[in-house]
C-alpha cells in the first residue's frame, strides 16, 4: 500500500517534523471524527491551509494526508447515515449492513496503520508515497 | 494519469468486492439480532392478545371459524406461508375492521365479515393483513410509534397497563405509513393471484366502502385508517391488470351464505 521512494531533495529536520505532524493531525482527527466523519476532513484541511506556503516536502505530505481522507470520508459517512436510518426509521439491521461496517472497519484500520507508519517514516525524513494517493499528490503538488 | 484511473478503479472494486463477499455471511443469525426481536415479538403478541381476549367477545360460531379458516388456509398453502404462524381470531364487534398484532395474530371483526359481499372481498382484506405480518410491518410500526426501549421493557416485566392499552389502540385504529400500506396492497394482490382469487373484488371492496354514506363511516374503521381508498383501488387495479391469470371461486356460495346467516343469528343474540 505504501512505497518508499527518494524525494527530489533531502528534507531538513524541521521539514520532516512538520510533514510528519500532518499525518499525526489526520490520525487524531480520524479518531475524533469517527462518529462524524466530516470532522477529520475539516481538521486536515485546516492543517493543509496552514502549511500550504511551507516547503515542498511539507506541502507534499500535507496534500497526501488530506487526499487520503477522502475515501474514508465517503465510506464512514455512508456508514454513519445508514446507522442513523436504522435508529430513526424503519430500516432494520441486515447482514448487508453488518458486512458494510466490517468492510469500513478494515479500510479504516488499514488507513490508520498506514498513517502511523507514514508519520514515523516522514519524521525520519524518509519520503513515503501511498498507493493511488501518492500518484494523485504528485499530480497536484508541484515543486515551485 | 492512466495509472491513476486504474488504481482508483481497483480501489473502488476492492471495497465493493470486500463488502459483497462479507455480505454473503449471515451476520444477523451470527449476532442473534433476529432472535432477540423474535422473542420480543412473541411476548408482545401474547400480551396484546390477552388484553383483547379479556375485554372483547370472541366469536366461536363453527361455520364462521371454518369459513375464515378455509380462506386463510388456501392463501397460506398457495403462497408457502407457514399456516401455524398466522393465528386468526374473530371478535364480535360492529366496526368494519381487521388488523394484525405482533407474532402473527390476525384480528377480524364480525362486522367486516358481515359487510363483505363475497369471500373474494374478504380474502383481499385478509391478504392485506397477512402481507403486513409477512413483511414485518407490525414490529416496524410499533418501534416507530413507541420506541424499542418501551417495547423491550413491556416484555421484561415493566407492564405499564396504560402504555400497553395505548399501543394496542395504535395497532388497531391507525394506519401504517403510506409506503408500507402500498407495499402490503401489492403483496396482497400477489397473494390473491397465487391463490387464484380475482383481485378485482378487493379493489371493488375499497371503492364500495369509500362510497358508503357518511353516517356509517364511524364504523368503517378499516377504511378510515387506510386513507385514499379510491387511489388504492386504482393502483391495485393497474397492478393486477398486468397479470393474466385465470381465477377460481375460493368458496361455494352455500358455505358463504351459511356463514352470513349464522353471523346474523350471533349478532342478534
Q: Which DSSP string do the residues of B91-106 spell out, in sequence order?
A: E--SS--EEEEGGGEE
Give dist(CA A78, CA A18) in Å, integer: 32
Q: List own/partner pairs for A141-144 with CB under 8 A and 24 or more apart.
A: A141/A56, A141/A59, A141/A60, A141/A63, A143/A8, A143/A56, A144/A56
Contact yes or no for A135/B7 (Cβ under 8 A): yes
Residue among B7, B23, B28 minimizing CB distance to A131: B7
pLDDT value of residue B215: 43
Q: B177 is written with which cell numbers?
A: 405509513
B22 and A94 within 8 Å at the Cβ level: the answer is no
By the CB < 8 Å criterion, does A96 face chain B? yes
B23 and A95 within 8 Å at the Cβ level: the answer is yes
CB contacts of B146 in chain A (<8 Å) are none
pLDDT, one tens digit per residue, over B1-36 is: 788 888 889 989 999 999 999 999 888 777 766 666
Which of B30-44, B46-60, B132-146, B188-202 shows the lowest per-residue confidence on average (mean pLDDT)?
B30-44
B19 and A136 within 8 Å at the Cβ level: the answer is no
By the CB < 8 Å criterion, does A103 face chain B? yes
Number of domains within chain B: 1
pLDDT value of residue B53: 87
Task: Work out the average pLDDT over B89-106.
Answer: 89
Instruction: Please determine, for residue B130, whether its predicted confidence score (pLDDT) is greater than 90.
Output: yes
Q: Is residue B64 part of a domain?
A: yes
Say whether B90 sits in a helix, a strand or coil. strand
Burial degree of A31 (CB within 10 A; 0-12, 13-18, 19+)? exposed
Instruction: Please determine, for residue B245, whether its predicted confidence score (pLDDT) is greater than 90.
Output: no
Task: Work out the average pLDDT over B110-125.
Answer: 90
Instruction: Please determine, for residue B218, whether its predicted confidence score (pLDDT) is greater than 60.
Output: no
pLDDT, one tens digit per residue, over A54-68 is: 888 888 888 888 888
Task: Work out the average pLDDT over A61-88.
Answer: 85
Residue of A nearest to B176 (CA): A90
CB contacts of B27 in chain A (<8 Å) are 95, 98-99
- pLDDT above 90 as % of chain B: 22
pLDDT, one tens digit per residue, over B185-207 is: 889 999 999 999 988 888 888 87
Say whether B38 sits in a helix, a strand or coil. helix
Domain limits for position A105: 2-140
Residue of B nearest to A75 (CA): B15
Q: Is residue B3 part of a domain?
A: no
Q: Is residue B217 part of a domain?
A: yes
CB contacts of A100 in chain B (<8 Å) are 19, 23
Q: Is residue B8 part of a domain?
A: no
A92 and B140 within 8 Å at the Cβ level: the answer is yes
ipTM of this predicted structure = 0.80
Per-window interface: A 52-91 vs B, CB < 8 A = 71, 75, 89-90
Q: B250 is written with which cell numbers?
A: 375460493
CB contacts of B22 in chain A (<8 Å) are 99, 102-103
pLDDT value of residue B213: 42
pLDDT, one tens digit per residue, over A87-126 is: 777 677 788 898 999 999 999 889 888 888 888 888 888 8
- Tell me B85's DSSP state: G
Instruction: Please determine, for residue B72, whether its predicted confidence score (pLDDT) is greater than 90.
Output: yes
Chain-centroid distance of CA B34 in Å reads 20
Number of domains within chain A: 1
Task: Work out the average pLDDT over A4-29.
Answer: 76
The phi and psi torsions of A55 (rounded to 5 degrees) equal: -70, 170
Instruction: Please determine, for residue B214, whether its predicted confidence score (pLDDT) is greater than 50.
Output: no
Q: ∠ at Cα B240 (B237, B243), nearest 5°?
A: 150
Give dist(CA A50, CA A65) in Å, integer: 13
Instruction: Please determine, for residue B247, whether its predicted confidence score (pLDDT) is greater than 70.
Output: yes
Highest mean pLDDT among A64-73, B68-77, B227-236: B68-77
Bridge partners of B42, per DSSP, are none
Give dist(CA B146, CA B31) in Å, integer: 25
Domain limits for position B155: 29-264
Name which residue leads in pLDDT, B86 or B39. B86
pLDDT value of residue A36: 66
Neighbours of B221 (CB within 10 A): 21
Tell me the C-alpha to C-alpha distance, in Å, between residue B68 and each of B72, B110, B126, B210, B266.
6, 11, 9, 24, 16
B27 and A75 within 8 Å at the Cβ level: the answer is no
pLDDT, one tens digit per residue, over A42-51 is: 777 887 888 8
Instruction: Please determine, for residue B223, whether its predicted confidence score (pLDDT) is greater than 80.
Output: no
pLDDT value of residue B75: 93
Q: Is residue B192 part of a domain?
A: yes
Residue A45, H or E segment:
helix A38-50
Highest mean pLDDT among A23-37, B63-77, B201-215: B63-77
CB–CB contacts below 8 A, A to B: 50
> Testing the interface with A: which of B28, B143, B179 to mutate, by most A Cβ within 10 A?
B28
Q: Is residue B129 part of a domain?
A: yes
- Residue B61 — left, alpha, or beta (φ > 0 → left; ψ -120 to 50 → alpha)? beta
Instruction: Please determine, for residue B164, whether its predicted confidence score (pLDDT) is greater than 80.
Output: no
CB contacts of A95 in chain B (<8 Å) are 23, 25-28
The dihedral built from the CA positions of residue B72, B78, B81 and B82, taken in this order, carries a sign that is positive
Contact yes or no for B123/B162 (Cβ under 8 A): no
Q: Is residue B12 part of a domain?
A: no
pLDDT value of residue A40: 72
Q: Is residue B6 part of a domain?
A: no
Amino acid at each position: 500500500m505504501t512505497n518508499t521512494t527518494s524525494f527530489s531533495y533531502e528534507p531538513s529536520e524541521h521539514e520532516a517534523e512538520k510533514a510528519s505532524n500532518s499525518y499525526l493531525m489526520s490520525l487524531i482527527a480520524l479518531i475524533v471524527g469517527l462518529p462524524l466523519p466530516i470532522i477529520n476532513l475539516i481538521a486536515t484541511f485546516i492543517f493543509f491551509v496552514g502549511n500550504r506556503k511551507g516547503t515542498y516536502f511539507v506541502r507534499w505530505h500535507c496534500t497526501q494526508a488530506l487526499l487520503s481522507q477522502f475515501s474514508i470520508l465517503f465510506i464512514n459517512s455512508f456508514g454513519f447515515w445508514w446507522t442513523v436510518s436504522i435508529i430513526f426509521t424503519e430500516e432494520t439491521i441486515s447482514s448487508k449492513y453488518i458486512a458494510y461496517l466490517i468492510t469500513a472497519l478494515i479500510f479504516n484500520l488499514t488507513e490508520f496503520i498506514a498513517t502511523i507508519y507514514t508519520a514515523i517514516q516522514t519524521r525520519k525524513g524518509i519520503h513515503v508515497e501511498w498507493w493511488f494517493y501518492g500518484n494523485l499528490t504528485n499530480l497536484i503538488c508541484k515543486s515551485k | 494519469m492512466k495509472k491513476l484511473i486504474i488504481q482508483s478503479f481497483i480501489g473502488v472494486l476492492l471495497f465493493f468486492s470486500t463488502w459483497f463477499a462479507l455480505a454473503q455471511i449471515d451476520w444477523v443469525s451470527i449476532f442473534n439480532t433476529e432472535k432477540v426481536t423474535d422473542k420480543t415479538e412473541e411476548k408482545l403478541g401474547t400480551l396484546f392478545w390477552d388484553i383483547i381476549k379479556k375485554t372483547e367477545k370472541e366469536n366461536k360460531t363453527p361455520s364462521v371459524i371454518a369459513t375464515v379458516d378455509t380462506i386463510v388456509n388456501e392463501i397460506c398453502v398457495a403462497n408457502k406461508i407457514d399456516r401455524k404462524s398466522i393465528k386468526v381470531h374473530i371478535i364480535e364487534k360492529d366496526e368494519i375492521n381487521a388488523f394484525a398484532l405482533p407474532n402473527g395474530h390476525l384480528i377480524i371483526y364480525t362486522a367486516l365479515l358481515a359487510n363483505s359481499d363475497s369471500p373474494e372481498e374478504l380474502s383481499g382484506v385478509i391478504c392485506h393483513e397477512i402481507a403486513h405480518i409477512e413483511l414485518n410491518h407490525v414490529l416496524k410500526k410499533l418501534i416507530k410509534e413507541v420506541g424499542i426501549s418501551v417495547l423491550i421493557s413491556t416484555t421484561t416485566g415493566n407492564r405499564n397497563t396504560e402504555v400497553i392499552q395505548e399501543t394496542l389502540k395504535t395497532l388497531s385504529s391507525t394506519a401504517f405509513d403510506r409506503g408500507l400500506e402500498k407495499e402490503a396492497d401489492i403483496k396482497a394482490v400477489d397473494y390473491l393471484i397465487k391463490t387464484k382469487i380475482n383481485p378485482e373484488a378487493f379493489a371493488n371492496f375499497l371503492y364500495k366502502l369509500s362510497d358508503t354514506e357518511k353516517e356509517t363511516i364511524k364504523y368503517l374503521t378499516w377504511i378510515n385508517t387506510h386513507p385514499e381508498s379510491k387511489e388504492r383501488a386504482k393502483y391495485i387495479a393497474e397492478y393486477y391488470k398486468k397479470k393474466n391469470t385465470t381465477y377460481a371461486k375460493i368458496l361455494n356460495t352455500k358455505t358463504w351464505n351459511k356463514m352470513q346467516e349464522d353471523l346474523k343469528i350471533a349478532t342478534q343474540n
